[in-house]
Amino acid sequence: MRKYGEVAKLTDEFLHGTLTKMDFEYENDKDVVVSISYEDTHNSRLDYRLRINEMTSVDFLSHKCRDSYGRIALNRDAAFERALTDYLVNA
């Protein structure tokens, strides 16, 4: 969908990957958990999860690589989180 094409651009720009899946989990009327799955240039599959509050605060939940050895925890990317939150809140 064109509406979420910007999320694919943000995934490429900040995480250097291709967006493959995006889910929204509404926890309550103030919070939503956003889950992004993407593939990097080495065809590794990665997951990024964060919680966005209606006041646009962001809670980092996880950033992991899924490989044959299980899940490997990765660092957060605060710039990606800000860009994604800005887009989703203002879209």
Residues with Cβ < 8 Å from 33, sequence gap 6 or more? 24, 25, 27, 49, 50, 51, 52, 61
User: Residue 16 in 3-state DSSP?
Assistant: coil
The 10s digit of each residue's pLDDT in 27-78 is 998 899 999 999 998 888 999 999 998 777 899 999 999 876 777 888 999 9
Range of the domain at 42: 2-90
> For residue 68, what pLDDT is reported?
65
- How many structural domains are present in the chain? 1
The pTM of the full predicted model, rounded to 2 decimals, is 0.86
CATH number of the domain residue 15 falls in: 3.10.450
